[in-house]
Amino acid sequence: MAGDVKVAVVSGAHDRSTAQTTNYVKSGFGTPKSCIVIQTSDTSDGTTVLAQSKISIGFSNFTNDFCISHQDEDNSAKVDCDAIKSNTKCFLLLGTDGSELSGGTAGVITDGVGLTNTLGNLGTDPFTTVIMFGGADLTADVVELGVNSSVDTAEITNVTWGADGNDKLMFFIGTDITGMDSASSGIGNSFGVCHATGTDAGGWTFVQRCMGWASDHNADPSSSATTMNTDQCLSIIKEDTTQDWSLEVTAIDHDPTDNISVTTRDTGAGSNMECFALLLDLDDRSAKVGSVDSPTTGSSWAPSVSLGFTPQYVCLGLTGLTAENNIGNAETNTGQEGISSNTGTGEETCHSWYNQDFAGTTITNNLFRSRAIDLRTSDVATVRQDHSHSSFDSGGWTYTVNTENEPTGRKWFYAAIEEAADSGNTADIPPPKATLSLEPYTPEMLQAHNVEVPPIAWWRYAIAA
């Protein structure tokens, strides 16, 4: 059966002890082939934010483990912030001094993923979301790619793709740091996605979205920035909140080897700049990537996205921006970002992180919540959007709006994956029909029950299913 592609969202507190493994399980899921790991330092699942802006986003195929992470210290007279990337860990949280407090790798367990710490100096257990991708027909890979300049096109060869013509969905993470596993002051991080449709012979069409966020180290007052781009899979902002380099998927090829090409845009990326990608080939399942405006009124939200299929998974990149393809805007809510992950009721999480722009003393926070969306103003004083999963529909999704304080639609992007193919519905198969047949009674059968045997043949009716 084609179309066996599955996604699950599993969350919970992560045991921060050294060498400890925390398991994230979805009963009946089977063996995952890759995962995204999202971790903030928030230690509870609820409405209370935790001081410090911290977010780790990582990929794993259980052989390769990659991540980016940052810390933006709260209550600092001058901005004290750091970022890091790793090609040895898929989750990593930094201390306010830039030290690595907690991090590790992912491994396959029955129906899930086990996250094992390689270091565990964090004082509390952070809540973590694991997005698992699996199914017999899914092809998945996690790769590292290097880019060097504004004219550089990097080719990732020997990618594990499925057949030519299948939909591809590619997630990307990157940061403006050259070295691995060594924190650098200042933040210029990005998370994005690309959807590819087409064939090698007919050409490929790429739809890309990303968000980037920055914080200026040693600034007074604080200076934070966000961007959301509609034609790139990564966008790196400088600490001074101007555009630095960005990345665009430009080609896919299956012959002679499976590969993708990515090209740097805007300014040069510098030498030895590595980014990371999680690549999914969806067999005969579809995907879609696009933009959506947050709602401003109503008790439910069903955006007009016209997916063309019923999704099993929806990811949202959340920002406080009111315009795409620029950095910030006239408002001061440019220091709010979030990632929403949803595969249905009971499988919905939102990680968000905040830096109040123009604050004399830095005000930063982060939040984990089992909600489809929980996004605050940059000072976290007001809940802008609080949504719960309601349904996945033919063509989109519907969320219940629990709280809304949104005067203007905010710019978000989405990535959706079609539900798995029906493995067979026995309700559609008619029950067997009863048939009537005649079988002879023998004299011996009747005599055994003290029945007089007449000198004629006797018959009985029998129902055969």
Question: Residues 375-414: pLDDT tens digits?
Answer: 999 999 999 999 999 999 999 999 999 999 988 899 999 9
Predicted confidence (pLDDT) at residue 438 exceeds the cutoff of 50: no
pLDDT at 188 exceeding the cut of 70: yes
- Amino acid letter for position 21: T
Co-location of 96 and 191 in the same domain: yes
Positions of E strands within 362-434: 364-369, 373-376, 383-393, 396-404, 411-418
Query: Do 226 and 257 belong together in one domain?
Result: yes
How is residue 445 annotated by DSSP? H
Instruction: Please tell me whether residues 332 and 444 are part of one structural domain.
Output: no
Across the range 257-272, mean pLDDT stands at: 85
User: Which helix (H) or strand (E) segment is 443 a member of?
Assistant: helix 443-447
CA gyration radius for the chain? Answer: 27
Give the length of the chain. Answer: 465
What does the DSSP assignment read for 49-99? -EESEEEEEEEE-SS-EEEEEEEE-SS-SS--EEEEEESS-SEEEE-TTS-
The amino acid at residue 149 is S
Assess whether pLDDT exceeds 50 at residue 264: yes
Q: Which of 342, 336, 349 is nearest to 398 (CA)?
A: 342
Share of the chain above pLDDT 90, in %: 72
82: in domain: yes
| Judgement on whether residues 438 and 413 belong to the same structural domain of the protein | no
Identify whether the C-beta of residue 183 lies closer than 8 Å to the C-beta of residue 319. Answer: no
pLDDT at position 122 is 74
State the residue range of the domain holding 378.
Answer: 6-427
- Cα–Cα distance measured from residue 364 to residue 332, given in angstroms and rounded to the nearest whole number: 14
- Sign of the Cα torsion 293, 331, 40, 190 reads positive
Question: Would you state the pLDDT for residue 330?
Answer: 57
- Confidence class for position 331, pLDDT limits 50, 70, 90: low
Residue 1: inside a domain:
no
Residue 84 pLDDT grade (very low, low, confident, very high; cuts 50, 70, 90):
very high
Whether the Cβ atoms of residue 63 and residue 374 lie closer than 8 Å to each other? no
Residue 437 lies in a domain: yes
Spatial contact of 405 and 317, defined as CB atoms under 8 Å apart: no
Nearest to 335 by CA among 372, 374, 360, 362: 362
Domain count, the chain: 2
Is a pLDDT exceeding 80 seen at residue 448?
no
In this structure, are 304 and 359 located in the same domain?
yes
CA distance 25 to 320: 33
Q: Model confidence over 107-154: pLDDT tens digits?
A: 999 999 999 998 877 778 999 999 999 999 999 999 999 887 777 888
Structural tokens at position 83: 């970022």
Sign, CA torsion 177/178/179/181: positive
C-beta neighbour count of 262 within 10 angstroms: 26
Comparing 45-49, 262-266, 399-403, 436-440, the range with the smallest average pLDDT is: 436-440
Give the CB-side neighbour count of residue 27, counting CA atoms within 13 A: 0
Q: Which helix (H) or strand (E) holds 218?
A: none
Angle at 317 between CA 274 and CA 328, to 5 degrees: 85
Q: Say what the pLDDT of residue 426 is.
A: 39
Does residue 193 lie in a domain region?
Answer: yes
Is 215 among the domain residues?
yes
266 with 310, same domain: the answer is yes
CB 117, CB 104: distance < 8 Å: yes
- pLDDT of amino acid 157: 86
Closest CA to 132 of 43, 210, 28: 28
**378 lies in the same domain as 437:** no
Whole-number pLDDT of residue 424:
55
Regarding whether 63 and 40 lie in a shared domain, the answer is: yes
251 and 294 within one domain: yes
Q: Are 454 and 363 contained in the same domain?
A: no
Q: What's the chain's average pLDDT?
A: 89
pLDDT confidence of residue 457: 42
More confident residue, 451 or 295: 295
CA–CA dist 228, 234 (Å, integer):
9
C-beta neighbour count of 17 within 10 angstroms: 14
Q: Do 443 and 388 share a domain, yes or no?
A: no
382 and 284 within one domain = yes
| pLDDT higher at 419 or 330 | 419
Domain for residue 282, yes or no? yes
What are the C-alpha distances in Å from 377 to residues 237, 249, 354? Answer: 21, 32, 8
- pLDDT band for position 447 (cuts 50, 70, 90): low
Q: Strand 53-60 to strand 153-156: parallel, antiparallel, or no bridges (unpaired)?
A: unpaired
Residue 404 lies in a domain: yes
Burial 84-107 (b: 16+ CB within 10 A, else e): bbbeebbbbbbbbebebbbbbbbb
